[in-house]
A = this chain, B = another copy of it.
């Protein structure tokens, strides 16, 4: 059974009219019990007001609610933007009857427009009234911008024989790049854990998931990943063994959500795993994998179902990492296309072209230099990406 709720948490989505259509554009998460929290935020120096505010508020390690809107990023909005973000928290706190410092805030959408605070203030009581155990699907819908499907994933799994729950929702389909990054990801769990432990496991999970995907190489101003833990299950994460078990569940949630983000990336028709092995170090492998994963020429070739391995070689060569071109092998899934830096001929190319017709495949680059390795999830670059982003604001 698909898990779309997490014990002790309620959520809701609401159409506040920010998007000027009858779409859900505001969301709320509420923990019925005191909860601890940790967050990871964008590395962009231009940060939206909600990010700046959360980075302060989250220092307490406590949180009961999160208010979020789509359709407007509340970024580059000056003093008014910060005032509005604080107001969103305060109004939500009042409606919920909890202290203001326990409410976090997030936003996604167009940069540089003032928030329509009238619509938001009007919507908040309605949002609170709509809260329900099963409201997470609405919440996932409410944070969508150019996403075409909501991303929600829940896992129930035992830790030390006791069932615990982890539920994540995420959004983001453009401005996705490995420096943090998803636009927004909110994870609720009914384990109990101190904020330091939460921060540790969240950072680790993000690094091997959201930090390993790229859609367009741009890093958002609003990236926010939050992990809230309300202890409802009675399971406290207080030993290395339990932490490891919890990390495993969290990793699975983040990896699958990251996959969903790339799959639903703007204009995406193919999801491609770029794996680099045989590098001097994991760091080197990751840098090369990222460079290939971000190359517009590689990504347009994927879209054209063209096994153009020369572009992959060229991207690897400009990654700023020492490599020996004459030692490189390249595979499309199990088909070897390049051996020792030169092509394997037309038969291999025909087989590789069949691989490229799939909606998911892997490109493996073996540098044959050492034991370092890394993988990055990327996508093709389609005509629709350009259409979506040329027209996004209008």
Contacts and interface: CB of A to CB of B under 8 A. Distances in A.
B382 A219 contact: no
A318 B389 contact: no
What number of copies of this chain does the assembly contain? 2
Contacts of A300: 385-386, 389-390
A394 to B, nearest CB: 6
Contacts of A216: 296-297
A311 B44 contact: no
User: Interface centre among A219, A311, A383, A390, by most B CB within 10 Å?
Assistant: A390
A173 to B, nearest CB: 12
Interface string A318-360: 1000110110000000000010111100000000000000000
A306 B76 contact: no
B389 A386 contact: no
Contacts of A310: 73, 75-76, 110-112, 221
A220 B386 contact: no
B342 A304 contact: no
Nearest to A80: B342
A304 B389 contact: yes
Contacts of A43: 318
A46 B291 CA distance: 14
Contacts of A392: 301, 304, 306, 308
Contacts of A111: 308-311, 313-314
Nearest to A326: B78
Interface in A125-156: none
A1 interface: no
A306 B76 CA distance: 17
B389 A314 contact: no
Nearest to A322: B45
A372 interface: no
A317 interface: yes
A317 B393 contact: no
A217 B319 CA distance: 12
A186 interface: no
A155 to B, nearest CB: 32
A174 B311 CA distance: 11
Contact of A296 (B217, B301, B311): B217
A361 interface: no
B76 A303 contact: no
A371 interface: no
A175 interface: yes
